Structure 1
Amino acid sequence: MAIEHDYFGLLESGPDGSIFWSEVVDFGDQTVTVDLTAPDQDDVSVEALDVAAAMISAIEDVDLRARNAMVSELDDRTSEVTEYILQQQEQLGEDLEAFLADISGDTHIDVIRSLQLVSMTILADEHGGTDPFAVLEYALDRDATDEVLLVNLAGDGSVQSVTSAD
């Protein structure tokens, strides 16, 4: 079986009924890998695909919402965002400045601004549920795949949580 959608085209299911779509999209001066996946195509609605397409098309707004959520967590010294930044400062030391796009004097904000959006994974079968519908992966260094922040989004685009990959 298959699902046809204006944005995604023909989404054919694998032998196990799962669907997978992937594309690299341009975002500013970087590229972002966008994956759409579901273990069972029968759990994917046209509405979920419409929402996914809208998120991809509005990736700049989605990114801004995610970064604002990270900034709002800076007040909590035990938040995953604060822990991630402290870990990067400790690991990179003086070399941290080489990864920063802009140096304003507020290192925490500078790190959040400098994070690269590496990927967006859309879990199409989770639309309308309590689990994340989309997961954004951010890294200060694209090559350091173990040291990332994950921003979990609901189907309405609101931020559910920000976690580290540890």
Structure 2
Amino acid sequence: MKHAHFGRVETSALDGTDVVWESTSRLGDDEVEVRLWAGPSDQPDTEELDALAARLFDLPALDTTARTALRAYLREDRSFIDHHIEEIEDSETVVRLVRDAAGEEVGADSFAAAMRLSGIGLWLSGVSDGSPVILDYVFDPDLSDQILAVKLTRDGTVVSVDWES
């Protein structure tokens, strides 16, 4: 199939789940890896690909939605923040956040603002777990491999935030 944004999307030769298209997008000063995933039985249609492409066309708005979910997640459970403050205490970003907190706990808002979008996974319906758009956020990726994955529907509604590594 040929798509206006993704170009030729071929899934028939796949043995398992794999990337069928990849590119990068810009978000501010950051370059973000974008991958479209499919399985061998997936036969994408134009409507599904259009919906996934639409998420990329307004990446700043999608990032805003995801960051709102990140802040709510971090306010409810500080484990991700505390893990990073304790494990990578020499990180320049951690040092700055602790200093700016002025003796208080590092807040969810400032921590979420320091996180960077590192990748976007777009999953065709045959291989997605109900969340075809997944935004991976990292904190100081040179020092930590921990991710907060914000999972969204095709229309951009947040389904969950999950801690992954």
Shorter-chain TM-score tier:
0.7 to 0.9
Q: Is the 8 A contact 2:93 2:140 kept in 1?
A: no
Report the count of equivalent residues: 158
Alignment TM-score, normalising by the size of structure 2: 0.82
What is the alpha-carbon distance in structure 2 between the residues aligned to residue 159 and residue 20 of structure 1?
24
Residue 138 of structure 1 deviates from its aligned partner by 0.7
Structure 1 gaps of 5+ residues are: none
1:14-60: per-residue Cα shift (whole Å, max 9, x none)? 52376610001111101000001110364422111001111011111
Per residue, is there more helix in 1 or in 2? 1
Query: Equivalent residues in 2 for 1:131-142 (5 A)?
Result: 131-142=130-141
- Identity across the alignment (%): 24
CA-based RMSD? 2.6
Residue number in structure 1 paired with 2:160:
161
Residue number in structure 2 paired with 1:122:
122
Q: Is the 8 A contact 2:2 2:9 kept in 1?
A: yes
What is the alpha-carbon distance in structure 2 between the residues aligned to residue 55 and residue 154 of structure 1?
10
Query: Equivalent residues in 2 for 1:1-166 (5 A)?
Result: 3-13=1-11, 15-16=13-14, 20-40=20-40, 42-76=42-76, 79=77, 82-93=78-89, 95=91, 97=93, 105=101, 106-125=106-125, 131-144=130-143, 146-166=145-165
Q: Is the 8 A contact 2:133 2:151 kept in 1?
A: yes
What is the alpha-carbon distance in structure 2 between the residues aligned to residue 142 and residue 42 of structure 1?
33
